[in-house]
């Protein structure tokens, strides 16, 4: 059902069963898949493609231009997958031509109230961003990461899969997969252990968890990072989770939270 007060611009492509609430605005380049809904006063604009069974709550802003002074109106995109929940006052922005040209969101994510996904970010699947969690531009959040309320992630940082960021944490470096990071007295993120509960809930084997514990001890030891990684490669079983952990650290450009 499309409420009679909603504004749907010519050119918008909506599946037959899409619901649009009162006073919502849908821009001319927007595509929305079946089973999705847009709440009252929400705005979906820009070159935005939204998949199936997404729920966008009231007052959300989806597909607005980037908060980047270099953006000059180029045709850049926001691509959203299926079954995402975008709560009140959340903001998800288009990409930029100086970045990847698109912001992407996978499937089954939850963006709580006031969450912000900036230009050229890439959010995987099953991610939770709690209230007021903020991604600066070009951030990559891998699958099943949880970002606590009032967190701020620095531009170009990466948040590894199955990691958890404690509420109020300022993240300036990459957070390795499977770990927990939280703020310190200096407000910078530091590792606080493995996300053991999350790993067990996701069915990660006891063998893999044991090897990840060894990897984590090496990472947080007094060893130089390069030496720690070399020992991981030589001493640990090449299980998929371990290979991913090492590969993430090896490819870091902004440094690693330790």
When comparing pLDDT for 190 and 184, which is higher? 190
Q: What is the per-residue pLDDT for 186?
A: 65
Q: What is the per-residue pLDDT for 163?
A: 98
Superfamily name with CATH number, domain 199-250: Udp N-acetylglucosamine O-acyltransferase, C-terminal domain (1.20.1180.10)
149 part of the active site:
no
Is the model's pLDDT at 237 over the cut of 80? yes
SS (H, E, C) 161-194: CCCEECCCCEECCEECCCEEEEECCCCEEEEEEE
Distances in whole angstroms, Cα of residue 161 to Cα of each of 127, 147, 155, 210: 9, 11, 18, 18
Structure-derived torsion over alpha carbons of residues 192, 194, 197, 199, reported in degrees to the nearest 10:
150
Is the model's pLDDT at 187 over the cut of 70? no
Question: Can you tell me whether residue 113 is helix, strand or coil?
Answer: coil
Give ∠ CA 230-249-219 in degrees, rounded to 5.
60
**What would the pLDDT profile of 112-139 be if each residue is shown by its tens digit?**
999 999 999 999 999 999 999 999 999 9
CATH number of 7-141: 2.160.10.10
- What's the mean per-residue pLDDT of the chain? 97
Domain residue spans in the chain? 7-141, 199-250
Task: Grade residue 88 by pLDDT with cuts at 50, 70 and 90.
Answer: very high
137 part of the active site:
yes
Query: Which residue is catalytic, options 93, 116, 119, 122?
Result: 119
Q: What is the per-residue pLDDT for 66?
A: 98
Contact 52, 33 (CB under 8 A): yes
**What would the pLDDT profile of 65-86 be if each residue is shown by its tens digit?**
999 999 999 999 999 999 999 9
Task: Grade residue 184 by pLDDT with cuts at 50, 70 and 90.
Answer: confident
188 part of the active site:
no
Contact 80, 102 (CB under 8 A): no
Q: What is the per-residue pLDDT for 86?
A: 99
Query: Which residue is catalytic, options 27, 46, 137, 148?
Result: 137
Contact 26, 47 (CB under 8 A): no
Q: What is the per-residue pLDDT for 188?
A: 79
What percentage of the chain reaches a pLDDT higher than 70?
Answer: 99
Query: Which residue is catalytic, options 120, 122, 149, 174?
Result: 120
Structure-derived torsion over alpha carbons of residues 199, 258, 175, 188, reported in degrees to the nearest 10:
120
Determine the average pLDDT of the residues in 88-117. 98
**CA dist., res. 152 & res. 141, Å (int):** 13
**Residue among 151, 96, 161, 93 at smallest CA distance from 127:** 161
**CA dist., res. 46 & res. 137, Å (int):** 17
Distances in whole angstroms, Cα of residue 236 to Cα of each of 41, 209, 211, 240: 53, 12, 6, 11
**What would the pLDDT profile of 38-63 be if each residue is shown by its tens digit?**
999 999 999 999 999 999 999 999 99
């Amino acid at each position: 059902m499309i409420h009679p007060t909603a504004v749907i611009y010519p050119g918008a492509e909506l599946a037959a069963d899409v619901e649009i609430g009162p006073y919502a605005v849908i821009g001319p380049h927007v595509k929305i898949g079946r089973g999705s809904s847009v709440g009252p006063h929400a705005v979906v604009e820009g070159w935005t493609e939204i998949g199936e069974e997404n729920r966008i709550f009231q007052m959300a802003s989806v597909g607005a231009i980037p908060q980047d002074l270099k953006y000059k109106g180029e045709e850049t995109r926001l691509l959203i997958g299926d079954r995402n929940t975008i709560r009140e006052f959340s903001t998800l922005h288009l990409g930029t031509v100086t970045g990847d040209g698109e912001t992407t969101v996978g499937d089954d994510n939850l963006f709580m109230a006031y969450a912000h996904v900036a230009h050229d970010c890439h959010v995987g699947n099953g991610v939770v961003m709690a209230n007021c969690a903020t991604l600066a531009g070009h951030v990559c959040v891998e699958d099943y990461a949880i970002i606590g309320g009032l967190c701020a992630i620095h531009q170009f940082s990466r948040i590894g899969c199955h990691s958890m960021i404690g509420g109020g944490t300022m993240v300036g470096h990459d957070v390795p997969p499977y770990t927990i990071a939280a703020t310190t007295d200096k407000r910078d993120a530091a590792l606080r252990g493995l996300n053991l509960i999350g790993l067990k809930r996701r069915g990660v084997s006891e063998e893999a968890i044991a090897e990840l514990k060894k990897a984590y001890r090496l990472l947080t030891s007094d060893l130089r990072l390069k030496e720690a990684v070399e020992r991981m490669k030589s001493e640990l079983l090449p299980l998929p989770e371990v290979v991913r952990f090492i590969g993430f650290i090896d490819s870091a450009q902004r440094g690693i939270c330790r």
